[in-house]
Amino acid sequence: MRVLKLSLAFFFLGLLNITAQESRVPAIIPQPQEITWQEGEFILPERAVICYGPNAKTSAEWLQQLLLNTNTETYSMKGEDCRGFSLEIEESLKENLGAEGYELKIEDDKVSFTAATEKGLFYAIQSFRQILPSALEQGRLNEEIRLPQVTITDSPKYEWRGSMLDIARSFFGPGYIKKHIDRMALYKLNRLHLHLTDDQGWRIEIKNKPELAEKGSMGAVKGGRSGYLTQAEYKEIQEYAAARNIMIIPEIDMPGHIYAALLAYPELNCDDNANLTPKRAIPPGLFHGYEVGWSKFCLDKPEIYDFVATVLGEVAEITDGPYLHIGGDEIEDERYEEFVVKADSIVRGLGKTAIGWEEVTKAKVDESFISQRWHGKTESVVNVKIIESICSHFYFDHANVEGQKLTNNWCKEDGVSLRDVYDFTSDNKSVIGVEAPLWTEKVLSDAAADNRFWPRTIALAEIGWSEDEDRDFVNFTKRLGMHGKRLDHLQANYFRTPEVEWNSEKGEGIFSGYMPEKEEK
Ligand code: TNX
C-alpha cells in the first residue's frame, strides 16, 4: 500500500490559520507516493558543500546549477554524508523504487538525495526544485531561504510518461522543442514523441534522400511555419533531452499521411497518382489543407520498401532510444496489413522496437510491437503493449474550454478540460503509460502551443506518475494553482483555466496572456 502522509507542519509557530499554513507547504507535482512534512526548517547556509558518491557527479552539477540563484555558495566534491547536500546512488533501492524512484530528505542541517540511478537523482532534484522558491527559476533571490523539513519516498506508476508534438503540420524548431523539454523535465515526464512527417511537411533530414528535406519540408498548413531539423539538430535535441531523462521517439508516419514524401519522390506514387484519393494535391504541388486520409504510398510497388528501409535506417542510426514510431493511422488499403508487418520487421531488423497508432493492431505484428491507442475502436488481432493517448482525455489540439478558437473537436465537442485529462484511469494490464499528442493543424505559433500544452500536460504528468488512490482533483488544482508563478517565471504561456485558482496575477481573464482569435486569422 502506498501511503500519503501529510502531517502538516507547524513550522510557522503561532500561525493557526490553516490557509496560511497550507500555503507554506510547497506544492509538489506529480504527487509523490509518500511524503511527510515535518516540523522544523532547513535554512540555506551561506556556504555549502555538495558531496556526491560514485556516478552522481552529473546530478551534483544539476543541484549546483539550481542553487546558483540563491545566496548559498556551493562547491561540489566526491565524498559522503557531508553537512549541506549529499547525493548518493544506492543500487539496492532499485528493488523497491525502480530506476526512476528516489528518496529526498530535508533535515535541519542537510539535504540528501538517494536513488538507484542518476535518473532517480534527477527526479529527487526536480522535487527539491519545486520546494525552493519559484522566483529562482527566473533570477537571483537575495534573501534567506527557509525550507520545510520533509521526507519523500517516490517512484512512478508508469514507465511511459509522454508528450507528443506534431512538427509536420506546422514546424517547431529546436528552440521551442528545448523549452518544451525543460518544462516536461520539471514534471518528471520522460518521453518526447516527435511527429516528424505528414502530408504537409517532411521535417527531418535524410542524407540518402535529400529531396525529402529540400522539397518535402517546404509546405505547412495554412498560416503554419515550414522547415526541418537537420540531423545535427535532431541529435542535439536528443542529447539535451537525454540529460533531462527524456527519450526522443521519432515518428515517420506511413503508409498514409505521406504526401510530403510523395511530392519529393514522385516515383513512390502509382500511375496517374491513383494512390491520391481525392487528389487534394498533385506532385510537385504542396498541400496546405487540413484533410486526412487521402494520400498513401503506392503499396503495389515493391520499391517503396527500399525507400522505407533507407529512411528508417537513417532515423535508427541517429536515434539513441530503442523505439521507432511508424505511424500507420487513418488509411484504407487492402495491402495495409502487409505493409505494417513488413515495416515492423524492417524496424526489428534495425535493432529497434516499432510503435504505431492503434490501427496497426489489425495486422499480425510481432509481440514486441507497441500500440498507441487514440480512438479505441480498432479490433486488434494481437496482444501487445499499449500507450494510452485516448482522444477524449489526451488530445490537446482540442479546446481547453468549450468554444476556444482554433481547436479541433471531432473527438469531444466541448473540449478536453483539465478535469477530463485528470479523470483518466485504466486497469488494462497492457498499458505501459500515457502520452498526450499535440496535433498542430491549428496551432501555428509557440504561444499557441504553450496554451494547448499547459497546464494540461501537468495533469498528464500526475496521471503518469502518481497512483490512482493518491489522486484527487481538488487537491491537484490547489497544488497547480501554486505553480502559476513558477510557470510565469518559466515563461510558459499557459492557459489560465478557470478550474484553477492561480497564485499569479498575470493576465486578466481566462483567455489572458494569449488570445488565439486575436493573434491568428
Ligand atoms: C487524428 S490521431 C490524427 C491526426 C490529426 C488529428 C487531429 C492520429 C493518429 N491521426 O492526423 O492531426 O486527428 O485531431
* pLDDT of amino acid 511: 40
Look at the block and give the residue holding cell 525529402.
212
HSE of 111 in the Cβ direction (CA atoms, 13 Å)?
28
Residue nearest to atom 12 of ligand 1 (CA): 439
Which has the minimum average pLDDT: 18-32, 110-124, 237-251, 261-275? 18-32
| pTM of this structure | 0.94
Region 433-445: mean pLDDT is 98
Residue nearest to atom 10 of ligand 1 (CA): 329
Ligand 1 close to Cβ of residue 100 (< 6 A): no
Ligand 1 close to Cβ of residue 329 (< 6 A): yes
Ligand 1 close to Cβ of residue 357 (< 6 A): yes
What is the band of 1 on the pLDDT scale with cuts at 50, 70, 90? very low
Counting from 1 in the atom list of ligand 1, the atom nearest the Cα of 357 is 9
pLDDT at 459 over 50: yes
Topology, domain 160-474: TIM Barrel (3.20.20)
123 compared with 12, residue with greater pLDDT: 123
* pLDDT of amino acid 23: 55
The rounded Å distance from CA 430 to ligand 1 centre is 23
* pLDDT of amino acid 444: 97
Tell me the C-alpha to C-alpha distance, in Å, between residue 24 and each of 12, 15, 125, 501.
8, 11, 20, 16
Q: Which residues of 168-185 are buried (b: 16+ CB within 10 A; e: fewer)?
A: bbbbbbeebbebbbbbbb
Mean pLDDT score of the chain, rounded to an integer? Answer: 93
The rounded Å distance from CA 290 to ligand 1 centre is 10
Residue nearest to atom 13 of ligand 1 (CA): 439
* pLDDT of amino acid 10: 39
Ligand 1 close to Cβ of residue 462 (< 6 A): no
Residue nearest to atom 7 of ligand 1 (CA): 439
pLDDT at 507 over 60: no
Tell me the C-alpha to C-alpha distance, in Å, between residue 398 and each of 162, 167, 340, 411, 503.
18, 17, 29, 8, 26
Answer whether the bond into residue 284 is a cis peptide, omega within 30°.
yes
Question: Quick one: CATH architecture of 3-154?
Answer: 2-Layer Sandwich (3.30)
Question: What is the sign of the dihedral through the CA atoms of 95, 96, 101 and 104?
Answer: negative
Counting from 1 in the atom list of ligand 1, the atom nearest the Cα of 169 is 12
Ligand 1 close to Cβ of residue 397 (< 6 A): yes
Percentage above 70 pLDDT, the chain? 92
Ligand 1 close to Cβ of residue 113 (< 6 A): no
Residue nearest to atom 6 of ligand 1 (CA): 439
Give, for ligand 1, the residue of 200, 292, 398 to mutate: max count of ligand atoms closer than 8 Å to Cβ: 292
Q: What is the dihedral of CA 402, 407, 410, 412, to 10 degrees?
A: -30
Counting from 1 in the atom list of ligand 1, the atom nearest the Cα of 372 is 9
The rounded Å distance from CA 128 to ligand 1 centre is 37
Give per-residue pLDDT as tens, 180-239. 999 999 999 999 999 999 999 999 999 999 999 999 999 999 999 999 999 999 999 999
What is the band of 83 on the pLDDT scale with cuts at 50, 70, 90? confident
SS3 of 321-365: CCEEEEECCCCCCCCHHHHHHHHHHHHHHCCCEEEEEHHHHHCCC
The rounded Å distance from CA 236 to ligand 1 centre is 27
Region 448-466: mean pLDDT is 98
Which has the minimum average pLDDT: 6-15, 73-82, 87-96, 382-391? 6-15
Domain boundaries, the chain: 3-154, 160-474
Counting from 1 in the atom list of ligand 1, the atom nearest the Cα of 329 is 9
CA atoms of 2 and 10, how far apart (whole Å): 24
Ligand 1 close to Cβ of residue 394 (< 6 A): no
Region 367-390: mean pLDDT is 98
pLDDT at 514 over 80: no
Residue nearest to atom 4 of ligand 1 (CA): 439
Region 356-381: mean pLDDT is 98
The rounded Å distance from CA 418 to ligand 1 centre is 20
CB of 214 within 8 A of CB of 227? no
Ligand 1 close to Cβ of residue 330 (< 6 A): yes
* pLDDT of amino acid 340: 98
Counting from 1 in the atom list of ligand 1, the atom nearest the Cα of 395 is 14
First-residue to last-residue Cα distance in the chain? 52
Query: In the chain, count of helices (H) and strands (E)?
Result: 17, 15
Residue 204 cell numbers, joined = 527531418
Give per-residue pLDDT as tens, 150-171. 999 999 999 999 999 999 999 9
The rounded Å distance from CA 398 to ligand 1 centre is 11
Ligand 1 close to Cβ of residue 396 (< 6 A): no
Give per-residue pLDDT as tens, 318-330. 999 999 999 999 9
Q: Tell how strand 110-115 and strand 191-195 pair up.
A: unpaired
The rounded Å distance from CA 235 to ligand 1 centre is 26
The rounded Å distance from CA 439 to ligand 1 centre is 7
Ligand 1 close to Cβ of residue 439 (< 6 A): yes
Q: How many CB atoms lie within 10 A of CB 472?
A: 14
Give per-residue pLDDT as tens, 7-63. 444 333 333 333 433 456 999 999 999 999 999 999 999 999 999 999 999 999 999
Which has the minimum average pLDDT: 15-19, 460-464, 483-487? 15-19
Give, for ligand 1, the residue of 254, 413, 439 to mutate: max count of ligand atoms closer than 8 Å to Cβ: 439
Give, for ligand 1, the residue of 259, 329, 412 to mutate: max count of ligand atoms closer than 8 Å to Cβ: 329
What is the band of 520 on the pLDDT scale with cuts at 50, 70, 90? very low
DSSP for 227-267 reads: --B-HHHHHHHHHHHHTTT-EEEEEEEESBS-HHHHHHSGG
Counting from 1 in the atom list of ligand 1, the atom nearest the Cα of 439 is 12
